[in-house]
Amino acid sequence: MLDGSILQKLSLAHRPGQGGKRLLNFGVYYKNTLVALCHALEDHVLDCPSQPLMVTAFQRGMWYLQEADRYGTLAARSRQVVIMAGDDAGFTQHPTSQLENVALITLAPEDPVGQEWHLIILSPSYAAMVLCQELSISDYGGREPSHDWERKFYGLWTFEPHLVHEALQIAIAHIGTYHPQLQQSLLSQVAAIATSTVVNDDLTSVVHQVIHYLQSHESPAIPRQGLNHFSSDLSTPSPLDENLLSNELQAFLRLAQLIDQTDPENPMAATEVSALAEAMGQLMDLPPRQLHRLRLSGLLHRLSPLPTGSPPSSPLETIPQMAVIGTIIAHQGEWWDGSGQPAGLAGVAIPLESRILGLVTYFQSHLTHYCPIQPGTNLTLHSDQSLTLAFELCQKQGGERWDPQLITILSVLVNSLQQGLSLPVPSPKIAGGMWLLDSHSA
């Protein structure tokens, strides 16, 4: 990372020992992936119930000019837009640049932010960020991009409000080295946003926008075949296609992560359910493909179904490679006696992974109710009594709601946990999403 860059400063603030802050997971993104991500996040500004503050870095004025008309529309829906870019192509002359709530920062040639691509959005109801730095020529290892859309950037994107706020503070401090008066104005606006009445904004819609843009964004000369024509082992997509697909999965993982973070009563639902589901599968000696599905289904199990379709489908089913995972999640509410939702399936007609997922989700939610713990790394932090009470609730509904055989398997797991079985529940490294999406998901 370049010394003095916004990305580097954020990364340094998250080194081990820095006030309990977690390490950040960075990924590598092609330019066409970042264009799709930024367009999706920008589009949500047009639907946002409150006016956001937007801070962007375009590297060069010519890149801003390609988006200047679009930013004029965005400025009409924003309280303030700040655009950082190198002084070229006369970018200060465009009509958008003359708007009262649009501020331009002309970056000095030696400024490391001139090698970065940022989009930071903060409002009372919505926070999102793309924060990346372009790879240097040496980083390509002799394989420099032959096309503009193959340029690579290193960084992250997120919906996490606290992380967006932290990066925004760093960006505002950098802006202050050019324009101290604007810095003070931006700090006042951030403070005003923090004290504004929060309007709940369903981020499910912006996630679907991200997916739509990633699925429809084709390279100018390379047809995007990754989503509709993948081979069964997912071994043939181009690197550009793979990067887009990885970020589609990341969008859902980030939404699931945010759902957990905003649930004070059960902030570890995704990771604990994922660990429990996979452990159940291991006790049943299921093959690797099913263990893989259980792990990923657990991480994503809290995503709401799409409102269309009969029965309602999981939003994951919009990604062909994730259709099986979407089906597992969609049917986790089925009951063994056929009285559940959404399709009224009964007995073995319910997918096995859905039966496991439904049971461990119910078990985990009651386990947390009886013994709430701070986010940790091991399920053995739950007390023996809470494990027993949560299991007894499941046992009472065996043969009615739950598969009796799975109740037996769960009893073995609970007993093992009470005897000291270590069951780690690490958070997934979201930025490397393709590790979760392989032939076992297709």
Q: Residue 181 domain-assigned?
A: yes
262 and 384 part of one domain: yes
Give the integer Cα–Cα distance in Å for 24 and 251.
16
Q: Is residue 118 part of a domain?
A: yes
Is residue 214 included in any domain, yes or no?
no
pLDDT of residue 228: 32
CB-side neighbour CA atoms (13 Å) of 81: 23
Determine how many CB atoms are found less than 10 A away from the CB of residue 235: 9
pLDDT of residue 142: 72
Same domain, 12 and 149: yes
* Domain match, 271 and 194 both: no
**Which residue, 154, 178, 201, sits at the end of a domain?**
201
Distances (CA, A) of 392 to 371, 388, 400, 417: 15, 6, 14, 15
State the DSSP code for 378. B
Q: Are residues 193 and 116 in the same domain?
A: yes
Q: Across the chain, how many H-helices and E-strands are there?
A: 13, 7
Under-50 pLDDT residues of the chain: 218-235, 306-310, 312, 377, 432-436, 438-442
**Angstrom distances, CA of residue 34 to CA of 130, 186, 276:** 8, 25, 35
**Helix boundaries (H) for 143-179:** 161-176
Q: Is residue 26 part of a domain?
A: yes
Residue of 160, 242, 251 lying closest to 211 (CA atoms): 251
Residue 285 lies in a domain: yes
- Beta partners for residue 57, in sequence order: 84, 118
Residue at a domain's end among 172, 201, 230: 201
> Is 442 inside any structural domain?
no
> Residue 117: its pLDDT value, please?
93
Amino acid letter for position 348? V
Provide the b/e sequence for 102-138 (b: ≥16 CB within 10 Å): bbbbbbeeebbbbbbbbbbbbbbbbbbbbbbbbbeee
pLDDT at 137: 81
Same structural domain for residues 145 and 262? no
244, part of any domain: no
> What pLDDT, on a 0 to 100 scale, did the predictor assign at position 181?
96
Q: What is the pLDDT of residue 268?
A: 86
Q: How many whole angstroms separate alpha carbon 167 and alpha carbon 173?
A: 10
What are phi and psi for residue 14, nearest 5 degrees?
A: -115, 20
Give the Cα separation of 405 and 359 in Å (integer): 11
Backbone angle region of 130, left / alpha / beta, with phi > 0 → left and psi within -120 to 50 → alpha: beta
- Domain match, 196 and 345 both: no
The rounded distance, in Å, linking the Cα atoms of 191 and 269 is 32
Distances 191 to 102, 165, 194, 199, 200 between C-alpha atoms, Å:
19, 11, 5, 16, 19
Q: With contact defined as beta carbons under 8 Å apart, do 201 and 48 qualify? A: yes
Q: In this structure, are 166 and 26 located in the same domain?
A: yes
Please say whether the dihedral angle defined by the alpha carbons of residues 262, 268, 269 and 270, taken in this order, is positive or negative: positive
* Residue in the structure block whose two tokens are 């769960």: 410
pLDDT at 299: 92
Give the dihedral sign, CA 163/166/170/175. Answer: positive
- Specify whether the CB–CB gap between 148 and 163 falls below 8 A: no
Supply the range of the domain harboring residue 311: 256-418
DSSP annotation of 104: E
Question: 116 and 181 share a domain?
Answer: yes
State the DSSP code for 129: E
Residue 290 and residue 281 in contact, taking contact as beta carbons nearer than 8 Å: yes
Q: What is the DSSP letter of 377?
A: S
Between the alpha carbon of residue 343 and those of residues 31, 184, 324, the distances in Å are 42, 56, 16
Phi-psi region of 373 (alpha: psi -120 to 50; beta: other; left: phi over 0): beta
> Within 10 Å of residue 151's Cβ, how many Cβ atoms?
17
How many domains would you assign to the chain? Answer: 2
Which CATH number belongs to the domain containing residue 324 in this structure?
1.10.3210.10
190 and 260 in a common domain: no
Residues 131 and 264 in one domain: no
Distance CA 387, CA 212 (A): 42
* CATH code: domain of residue 93: 3.30.870.10
Residue with tokens 């032939």: 439
User: According to the model, what pLDDT value does residue 277 have?
Assistant: 96
The pLDDT of residue 20: 67
Does residue 371 lie within any of the structural domains? yes
Asked whether residue 268 falls in the same domain as residue 196, the answer is no
DSSP 433: G
197 and 263 belong to one structural domain: no
